[in-house]
Structure 1
Amino acid sequence: MARVLIVGGFLALVFWVFSIVDCAVQPATRHRGVPKGAWIAIVVLIPVLGGILWFVLGRRRRSDQASMRSVAPDDDPEFLRTLGKTEQDERIRRLEEELARLDDETDGPAADSRS
């Protein structure tokens, strides 16, 4: 019986230390609910239960973080699917016309100054 308590106490100590280290080394963006310092205090002051709370509630998973990441419209396949081919063609045509107009405006004064 004493061995079971010793092994259980040792495992609880290892889990507690692991929880503290894991909580401390995670970037602040990976903490949910309360700030990083509060999570460290919870894990330190409530040894085993704090560690369980950290892993269940406080630690943001990589998959959670990936879904929060913002993506530029031209990199977002969902956005690109919403654009129709004609919308893209029309936008390209307008941009080309604007570039041609800007080229004409810059070419005009330069040609006059050379004369």
Structure 2
Amino acid sequence: MLRYLPFLLVLALWIYAFIDCLNTPESQVRGLPKVVWVLIILLFGEVLVGPVAWLVAGKQRRPVAGGGSTPSQWHRNHRTKFVAPDDNPEFLQSLKSENKKDEALLKDWEADLRRREEELRRKEAGPGEANGPEDTPPATG
């Protein structure tokens, strides 16, 4: 089993670098176009040159946030405050608008149901029990 370990590690690094390159946005790729990096990783994967080159020079790395004793500059300037949904006016407004849409849809369904029930009653009543001028049989004369 130990004799397969180097091969498995190379394969794992190769697969990781390939998937990482594919998932990286074009704006974070450095040096070469993304397609060229994919080809380098695939062609030089067996000798570790392609995957290591990608990991070292191909992708812009961001500093780890919260790794030091003080927060990074980005976190100091862009703090977001968590607001519970029941305190968020935008969320509450969206619930109200969805509720209005649902009520309107329900009213339309009820009106359609009433209309269909009336049509069924007219059909069941038959021509002998005329409900209106459209149900009266034509006069023979």
TM-score (normalised: structure 1): 0.50
Gaps of 5+ in 1: 64-74, 76-115
Query: What RMSD over aligned residues (CA atoms) do the two structures have, in Å?
Result: 1.5
CA distance in 2, matches of 1:29, 1:15: 23
Amino acid across the alignment from 1:50: G
Q: Which residue of 2 aligns with 1:94?
A: none
Asked whether 1:53 is paired with 2:58, we answer no
Q: Offset at 1:62?
A: 2.2
Amino acid across the alignment from 1:24: L
1:24 to 13, 22, 25: 22
Larger radius of gyration between Structure 1 and Structure 2: 2
CA distance in 1, matches of 2:31, 2:3: 34
SS of the counterpart of 1:62?
coil
Q: Offset at 1:29?
A: 0.7
Q: How many residues align?
A: 62
Q: Offset at 1:59?
A: 0.9
Where do residues 1-115 of structure 1 align in structure 2 (5 Å cutoff)?
3-47=1-45, 48-63=48-63
Gaps of 5+ in 2: 64-76, 78-141
Question: Which portions of structure 1, spanning 4 or more consecutive aligned residues, are displaced by more than 2 angstroms?
Answer: none
Amino acid across the alignment from 1:15: L
CA distance in 2, matches of 1:30, 1:5: 37
Q: Which has the higher contact order (CA 8 A, sep 6+)?
A: 1
Q: Offset at 1:49?
A: 1.2
- Report sequence identity in percent: 31
Measured against aligned partners, the alpha-carbon deviations of 1:47-82 in whole angstroms (never above 9, x if no partner) come to 02100000111111124xxxxxxxxxxx9xxxxxxx
Q: Offset at 1:4?
A: 3.5
TM-score (normalised: structure 2): 0.41
CA distance in 1, matches of 2:2, 2:37: 30
